Chains A and B, each alone.
Chain A
């Protein structure tokens, strides 16, 4: 097991402005380019419910103290957190290969 940094999403606070998408796209391309973002915001029009998804390509802006999406998230729907992840040992990998 290992502890890694991650973006925590509090979707009930999200207003769906997509500034996080802009910031993330900017981080990768230096352009205003949400299509290249590792974070995506969707809204269900019927209920107004918003969902935020973070893709595997997110590296939590490893070169920065505060990830760029968090810097521009005005309603504070994003924050920096830690999560436990299972890491594969060499033995796990070998047993996986065998099965």
Chain B
């Protein structure tokens, strides 16, 4: 008799149609070749949303899910993935978020929640122990994410309910709206908060008491104790524990040495006397009050802060991450750390993506400097570099689409198209997704990973840290065909590295594990070997590192095909904004650094060839898809005449 339980997986997909107000349960089994989380979500969105359906159309599909290692003792087994069509790019959006939601979903009996349709009035979804219901959320509409959590928990008299919810930014369909989990964690990309908003979906609240079964419980326990020890020994994990991801802010040496995106990415040198104000040690010494871990995570990279008074206090918040410090700091030339803290709190309360609003505010500040936006346009706000007060006010205006905020809530690409006057030239986005990055000019492989990412931009796909961590020359040569992969300035081997990490990250996101507990940050942490072993111990299904890697390739190829079919992206869409090629870094150890077109294109050729894609169009080839067994993907691309035979 077939075992009635799943090991590792909860075993079920919840399907919700908000137009028809129905909830149905489906077995996860047919989708298991894509593991879970991002893999299954991508496959569902790819199959169920046709290219003519826009991101905020009621017919659009959004899938929220996790993988077989979430809700377990695996270090970092806490991640939820949200896949949908991207508001900004029109291609795929995959967002990944920590906290306790993923575990609670498993304990409530679901691996994946797939939502279609649009509710007539605001609603929230309540999921408890294998059951789901659609509830009235009219009284929640207009509330911040923090208040929404508080109200729902209060109504249900249960402080252990976990939530994914949107704030005013999602309700107002801002392109930069995200989904917030546990107050301070964000699924930031692709405007997924606006997709929630377009469906009148305020929140998903989850609570469960069901077990997650392990195929080999004792083996799983013992192996996780070993992994826990490895995390404890890891220097990189130690930095996360001590400072959070903000610890990466000063990596590279004393202030002024670490490249930061400065003044809307026109430069990557921020002198030490400015950077000093926003160093991780400053935040730690002045305002940190504690730490808050995601589910079962030994690193606990989220830190708590309290501003007792001053211009922006009293204020208690959590999760100030390094990219927020950059987006609200060097990006706008702001050195006022208290304004950055206030900005971070607002971003979480309003449900905004820090990189998205950072990018669009950088564009607005530059447009103001150039006289393309005036005080009359901004309602009196002086968008001058370094003006922290203006930044704080602007954030709220964007979330509520007030005044100039209405323009900026379109997303940077669309705002620049609306304003025109050449402002498109300094709208910093990739494929329509806003960008907020650092080390783009100096670290060539890192840059390539940002620009080739299927979700538009961002360093959390193929951008590798090998240029910072270093790698043994022989290992580098055997894995990537070049000893140069550790050298930031080299172009050689970077295409292969980027393609490798793109596939690897797809595996990590499908397992439900945090990238910060993997070989991405430390070669001694979870890699493919460890993932394969954990997968077998948890699910009882045999696999191997090469087999898992192949699943990662399949997932990344599904995303690539989605982009080709829905957004028509080609090679030109994998190129960086001109600024990174034409405006070199002005000072510091990387003075003069820029992306040379010839070198960048060489990396891109190498990248396409590693993936098995056509270097001229960037399209997938029939041979690549045959090798991966993606017949349906191949059929659709061929039908659209976007397949290289």
Contacts and interface: CB of A to CB of B under 8 A. Distances in A.
B73 A74 contact: no
Interface string A9-32: 000100111110011011001111
Contacts of B149: 45
A25 to B, nearest CB: 8
A75 B300 CA distance: 9
A21 B212 CA distance: 13
Contacts of B304: 48
A12 B73 CA distance: 22
Contact of B100 (A18, A25, A33): A18
Given A32-B71, A32-B212, A48-B304, A17 B293 contact: yes
Contact of A18 (B106, B231, B295): B295
Given A18-B295, A34-B107, A74 B228 contact: yes
Nearest to A45: B183
B194 interface: no
Nearest to B290: A48
A16 B292 contact: yes
A46 B314 CA distance: 12
A53 B107 CA distance: 21
Nearest to B225: A71
A17 B297 contact: yes
A82 interface: no
A19 B211 contact: no
Contact of A72 (B107, B208, B213, B228): B228
Contacts of B292: 15-16, 43, 48
B159 interface: yes
A83 interface: no
Contacts of A26: 73, 217, 221
Contacts of A43: 292
Interface residues of B, number: 42
Chain A contact-residue range equals: 20 to 34
B295 A47 contact: no
Given A17-B295, A31-B214, A42 B107 contact: no
Indicate the member of B221, B225, B294, B296 with the most A CB atoms within 10 Å. B296
A4 to B, nearest CB: 26
B295 A33 contact: no
B220 to A, nearest CB: 9
B293 A31 contact: no
Nearest to A26: B221
Contacts of B221: 26
B529 interface: no
Nearest to A20: B296
B570 interface: no
B211 A32 contact: yes
Contacts of B295: 17-18
Indicate the member of B100, B224, B293 with the most A CB atoms within 10 Å. B293
Given A35-B209, A48-B304, A22 B296 contact: yes
B296 A17 contact: yes
B591 to A, nearest CB: 41
Given A17-B300, A19-B298, A35-B107, A29 B289 contact: no
Interface in B101-123: 103, 106-107
A30 B218 CA distance: 8
A48 B289 CA distance: 9
22 contacts: A17-B294, A17-B298, A17-B300, A18-B103, A23-B73, A26-B73, A29-B211, A30-B217, A31-B211, A32-B71, A32-B73, A32-B211, A32-B213, A32-B214, A34-B107, A48-B289, A48-B292, A48-B318, A72-B225, A74-B231, A74-B300, A75-B291
- CB-based closest 7 A-B pairs: A17-B293, A74-B298, A31-B211, A35-B209, A15-B293, A33-B211, A32-B212
Given A26-B217, A72-B228, 5 more contacts: A19-B73, A19-B298, A26-B221, A47-B316, A48-B304
